[in-house]
Amino acid sequence: MSSKKTTIHDIAEKLNITASTVSRALNNNPRISDTTKKAVLNMAQDLNYQPNNIAAALRKGKSQLIGVIVPTINRSFFSSVIRGVEEVANQLNYRVVVSQSNEDSDNEIATLNALVNARVDGVLVSIGKNTKDFDHYKNLIRRGVPLVLFDRTTNEISTSQVIIDDFLGGYMATEHLIKQGYKKIAHFTNYNKINIYKERYRGYIEALKDYNIPFYNKLICESNMQLEDGRMCTEQLLRSGQKFDAIFSTSDYAAMGAMQVLKENSIKIPEEVGLVGFSNEPFTSFTDPPLTTLSQFPIEMGHAAAELFFEILNSKKDKLIPQKTVLQPKLIVRASSIKQRK
């Protein structure tokens, strides 16, 4: 029943021409006459021809596949980036192959190899928190496989990347709180200081400095930045007796934890404590009060990453200058940090 799939040879045979001609006709090669092209196209339709990309990939050495590795796919930020990548890729007749590292270094390497073996034409990666060794990526570049890093990046690898200006993000969040009249601003950051957290932290410090607000080490809490960690940090702050009137958390989840604990302790947000998160997770607009946060424009980040990828792909391999796209984060002001009404 399922007669074999039709190939260009079948088309060629029916039309009494060769497969080369069919191939050229299908690829709209100018050396083929319009008459032949039409005949081929019609016959292809009649025979319900479906090109075998695998065969083409083997011959051309290009699979039309882009690999994307993220720590976890079911986080709004990452799935949105993937969405963005896919939008650009599909436009150019590329498909997106996704893999998760689960923040595990070994897994990240294994998955990277798997993608390479599948002969993806390049890889877009957001590096896991625990990855300290970048040799595999360096090898990849040496072997000429296009690589683009996004969000979770490192300067140890010389390749194109797209990030948001996390320093600015940290600065904006802190400045906003200061301008609202908050003076003792706690900061929750990741204990594992990969680029993004480091930068946000720097922004926080810088803003304090610019506004002559003293920095207290006791107001810093390092953790894994999940909801539970945010709860813990907040409880710790409360127990310590250290006064604070605002929290800038570098993750929305930890901010949510803080919100819960504050509410449980009948501390009013934003009147007594202002709260700012980071990432604009979908839930932040649904909390009570809604949470001020920073949007990282994940879909745009996906677009940018894909564009950088295609730039590498289309460039002469020898004179390739790594590009860096820096997106501006945007402060989304919501009730959790509005002390003054203007």
Q: Please work out the total of residues on this chain that contact DNA, with binding judged by CB under 7 A.
A: 33
Q: Say if residues 128 and 190 touch (Cβ distance below 8 Å).
A: no
CA distance 225 to 164: 19
Partner in contact with 80, chosen from DNA, its own copies, none, beta carbon below 5 to 8 Å by kind: its own copies
136 binds its own copies (CB under 8 A): no
Pick between residue 96 and residue 163 the one whose CB is nearest to its own copies.
96
| Residue from 1, 3, 28, 31 in contact with DNA (CB under 7 A) | 31
55 binds DNA (CB under 7 A): yes
CA-nearest of 224, 282, 274, 283 to 254 is 224
* Helix (H) or strand (E) run with residue 330 in it: strand 330-332
SS (H, E, C) 76-135: HHHHHHHHHHHHHHHHCCCEEEEEECCCCHHHHHHHHHHHHHCCCCCEEECCCCCCCCCH
Q: Say if residues 294 and 169 touch (Cβ distance below 8 Å).
A: yes
| Residue from 7, 72, 224, 226 in contact with DNA (CB under 7 A) | 7
| Residue from 7, 36, 76, 195 in contact with its own copies (CB under 8 A) | 76
| Residue from 54, 264, 271, 324 in contact with its own copies (CB under 8 A) | 54
79 binds its own copies (CB under 8 A): yes
332 binds its own copies (CB under 8 A): no
At closest approach, how far in Å is the CB of 40 from DNA?
9
CA-nearest of 54, 48, 46, 56 to 19 is 56
Name the one range near its own copies by CB under 8 A: 14-22, 78-86, 197-205, 327-335.
78-86
Pick between residue 63 and residue 126 the one whose CB is nearest to DNA.
63
282 binds its own copies (CB under 8 A): yes
| Residue from 1, 45, 56, 273 in contact with DNA (CB under 7 A) | 56
Site for its own copies in 137-176 (CB under 8 A): 142-144
Q: Say if residues 146 and 122 touch (Cβ distance below 8 Å).
A: yes
267 binds its own copies (CB under 8 A): no
CA distance 274 to 292: 9
